[in-house]
Chains A and B, each alone.
Chain A
Amino acid sequence: MIRKMLQSLGEYLLLMARTFQRPERMRMFLKQYYKEMMALGINSVGIVLLISLFIGAVICIQIKLNIQSAWMPSWVSGYTTREIMMLEFSSAIMCLILAGKVGSNIASEIGTMRITQQIDALDIMGVNSASYLILPKVAALVSFIPILVTFSVAAGIVGAYCTAYLANIITPADLTLGLQHSFTPWYFWMGVIKSLFFAFIIASVSSYYGYNVKGGSIEVGKASTSAVVSCSVLILFSDIFLTQLLS
């Protein structure tokens, strides 16, 4: 078990060493980079906005109805909503969700290329297949994730305002007061920095699982599942360390 994990780690590091090499052709890299930006980044905006909107609303409702009581200042609900969204939800939890969406997508795409010999075809042409396939994905996701984090925080706040304006659970004035209460910009940057690490984990670990598929379509399915599970676990563990480190 431990031996197998060490072996996987070794394989992963070797793959990364092959991945992080100067692309043979910049124009091919940029073409792939643009494509992955669309596929992994732009295509995730919708789900990020949707989930963040609802979570922002739900956190606000929960705090207001179930936690806030008479002796607490009225800004507590808005304040807590903002901090939860910025500190954890829009980085760690959102990346867990993206691990499911993007991770399985990457693993099955590369895995299918492996079993249909498209990766062999690249190797035979003398193309560094790891760098050609994986580097644009890692670069695209890592460079796009700050935008997703920003969108997520914003959508969460919009969600909170929905509870105020549409459901009258909290007064807009209280909410605004809370959202602006002792704002620490660093908390936002902390979420962004953490998300960069998580994005790297999602793109590289899923690529590793896809790249090493052996067999047929069943193995592609298994690789895709393993990729999501491993990414999630790694995100959770690294979240603890990163939070400690950055706080």
Chain B
Amino acid sequence: MIAVENISKSFDGRQVLHDISVEFLNGRTNLIIGQSGSGKTVLLNSIVGLHQPDSGHIYYDGRDITVMSKKERTMLRREIGMLFQGSALFDSMTLLENVMFPLDMFSDKSYKERKARAMLCIDRVNLLGSEYKHPAELSGGMQKRAAIARAIAMEPRYLFCDEPNSGLDPKTSLVIDKLISEITHENNITTIVNTHDMNSVIGIGENILFINNGAAAWQGNSKEVLTSNNKMLNDFVFASEFSKQLRQDILANIH
């Protein structure tokens, strides 16, 4: 479990995160949703320690990352897998080398065992057959899957995904969402996903935090999103006329 307590963050005097407190659950896909520019990336980066928050605490199963020494933080990071918005694969390496990289760096296993583990991860994301291609030769969806394979290579306890669906078509997005959700449940990982994709919210959201202008505005699961009367949340999730109509229909069915 990751517990965030009273996190605030400013850039150049402009406050981006306002006193956010939230708990992200173990073995669940936790979502952070909100408009573009609402501070999702800053919140996620603060949680993993890429930004130092101005105030507040972040506990990884009781271990406070905000007061850790550099060394402790480095050790904690070996339990973290992260999926960046642009995949961030190393473009000088093949897919296999990318997935093997964290193992090469931190694992004392033999080359054969490391390769076997990497191939297992590549198989898990259905990319067998592409392991000797470079990132530039992969499609957007394949790059995302490759990044997932790299993120899970070290069997992380925590998985962070920053907009895993950005730039993907709806069908590919579903594949990625499903993959993240399955991997989370299979390995009992604490997963946090940043998204503004309504399909993800309804599809895989088990514990959803809605942030609006850098402040926590609502929290619940995907069913509660449908029935919530929070005006800001509804305006965000059901932005189009079509989806507003859809919501009305669903609500009518429930009652």
Contact = CB atoms under 8 A, between A and B. Distances in A.
Contacts of B105: 24-25, 28, 125, 127
A125 B90 CA distance: 13
Nearest to A39: B92
A120 interface: yes
Contacts of B104: 25, 27-28
Nearest to A119: B88
- Interface size class on chain A is 10 to 19
B84 A121 contact: yes
Interface string B81-94: 01011101111000
Contacts of B76: 126
A62 interface: no
A171 interface: no
A123 B102 contact: no
Interface in A87-140: 113, 116-118, 120-121, 123-127
B75 interface: yes
Given A125-B102, A125-B105, A117 B48 contact: no
B48 A118 contact: no
B117 to A, nearest CB: 15
Contact of A120 (B78, B88, B106, B154): B88
Interface string B80-116: 1010111011110000000001101110000000000
A16 B102 CA distance: 24
A116 B106 CA distance: 23
A117 B151 CA distance: 14
Contact of B82 (A27, A118, A124): A124
A27 B109 CA distance: 13
Given A28-B105, A123-B50, A124-B48, A116 B77 contact: no
A121 to B, nearest CB: 4
Contacts of A121: 82, 84, 88, 90
Contacts of A28: 104-105
B90 A124 contact: no
A200 to B, nearest CB: 23
A184 to B, nearest CB: 44
A126 B84 contact: no
B139 interface: no
B74 interface: yes
8 contacts: A28-B105, A117-B86, A117-B88, A118-B90, A125-B154, A126-B75, A126-B76, A127-B105
Given A118-B89, A125-B154, A126-B74, 12 more contacts: A24-B106, A116-B91, A120-B50, A120-B88, A121-B84, A121-B90, A124-B48, A124-B80, A125-B77, A125-B105, A126-B75, A126-B106
Interface of A: 24-25, 27-28, 113, 116-118, 120-121, 123-127
The 3 closest A-B CB pairs, nearest first, are: A126-B77, A117-B88, A121-B88
